[in-house]
Amino acid sequence: MEKLIIEGGRRLTGVIRAEAAKNSVLPLFSASILTDRQVVIRGVPAITDVLCMAKILRELGASVRFCGGDVVIESADACCHEIPSSLTRELRSSVFMLGALLTRFRRAVIAYPGGCDIGLRPIDLHLSALKRLGVCIREREGYIHCSCDVLRGAEITLDFPSVGATENVMLAAVMAEGRTVLEGAAKEPEIVDLQRFLNAMGAKVRGAGGDIIEIEGVSTLHGADFSPVADRIEAGTYLIACAVCGGELEVEGVRAENIRLLLHKLRENGCKIHTKNDKIRIESSGRLRCNRRIETMPFPGFPTDLQAQMTALNCAARGSALIVENLFETRFKYVPELQKMGADIEVRGRSAIVRGIPRLHGASLTACDLRGGAALVVAALGAEGVSEVTELSHIDRGYADLAGKLSRIGASLRRVP
């Protein structure tokens, strides 16, 4: 088992370029099986979620080659419509494969998806939307069996703007007969990216980024060469780390409008933020004020994937903060680890009251999920003394070379057996 050894108290200075967004790359991998032509996805991060999705495509019969930072996918020989339970239970994003498999094979068998343990994430919205497109669904013994004679366009309304359900509808409707109108769609930048990718393959999709997405079914799709949007969550994590440690950091590749609320909150903390084109620069003294309230919401609201990192920031700031988590009911599982460092946090259901203290101290910490693990790293970087973080497999799901990137901007940390 590997662990991170982190010596806190170092200022962060320099430049980091954000990787391609994990939450964009994974559905793009799914979409690649919609064509029997070659697909190239540029700048793909070397994270375990990506490697797991590559394994899934290979199980289906596709060829997946990693060429430097690019991935070349050829699905002409794909012939399997069933995903092994060992892979679906490891990766939540495997659920995106339902819509793509139904489009390609008119059949799909998939175990209930896994991923981080941050609470229930039912896929009822996915299944009810697919039924509207003519899919017959049977659930038994932990597996979802889907089939259809033909996919037909339909009018679909989501009761909640689920990212996964929105992407599944897009993947299932893109080659369906007729027109599909999806109301109540998720608006995340990664949804817009999927639209861009599908249209680059010859699809007719419009409206992504708004409440209504319209899809006109086409008969075939061709290959594409595509560069995904930058990872706003990775970028946000590094900006928060610099805010906690103090220093000056420029993050390249990410558009400010994609993390607008985070930048607003960091200004509330006392940081100076400068934006230009796809560059965001933060200047921090390391002496921060607490945010009065942070409440997670679907995009363009505050992202749940940055909630834990901002809680870590508020632990050693002046004042008190109220953190409200509206999307996942057990996303405060990382709080006992921060309390080991001296944090004053009181969890009440889906809310947490954070009372800032002058400084956290080092401790032995265990990551319990992806973003909670990132929050522990952020807290340790700003703490007094040395911390150890174990269970790095969670962090590896979403951050490529975390230790190397932070070391290059002045942090003192190393990854050891």
* Model confidence pTM above 0.85: yes
User: Do 74 and 139 lie in a common domain?
Assistant: yes
Number of helical (H) and strand (E) elements in the chain, helices listed first: 14, 23
- Taking only the tens place, the pLDDT of each residue in 96-106 is 789 999 999 99
The domain of 172 spans 22-226
CA-wise closest residue to 377 among 385, 388, 369: 388
38 CB burial (10 A radius; 0-12, 13-18, 19+):
middle
User: Do 39 and 71 lie in a common domain?
Assistant: yes
Separation CA 55–CA 61 (nearest Å): 10
- Taking only the tens place, the pLDDT of each residue in 123-169 is 888 999 999 999 999 988 878 899 999 999 999 999 999 999 999 99
Domain with 53 in it: what CATH number? 3.65.10.10
User: Do 149 and 239 lie in a common domain?
Assistant: no
User: Do 333 and 270 lie in a common domain?
Assistant: yes
User: Do 386 and 248 lie in a common domain?
Assistant: yes
CB 40 within 8 A of CB 224: yes
Give the domain-ending residue among 211, 226, 241: 226
The dihedral region occupied by 110, where left means phi > 0, alpha psi between -120 and 50, and beta the remainder, is: beta
Catalytic residues: 116
User: Do 158 and 282 lie in a common domain?
Assistant: no
User: Do 211 and 245 lie in a common domain?
Assistant: no
| Residue 228: φ, ψ to 5° | -70, 165
Give the domain-ending residue among 226, 258, 286: 226
CB 354 within 8 A of CB 318: no
Residue 226 token pair:
């595509």
User: Do 285 and 408 lie in a common domain?
Assistant: yes
**pLDDT number for residue 120:** 41
Separation CA 417–CA 410 (nearest Å): 22
User: Do 400 and 257 lie in a common domain?
Assistant: yes
User: Do 240 and 222 lie in a common domain?
Assistant: no
User: Do 262 and 220 lie in a common domain?
Assistant: no
User: Do 204 and 285 lie in a common domain?
Assistant: no
- Taking only the tens place, the pLDDT of each residue in 197-222 is 999 999 999 999 999 999 999 999 99
Give the domain-ending residue among 192, 226, 260: 226
**pLDDT number for residue 121:** 47
Total count of domains within the chain = 2
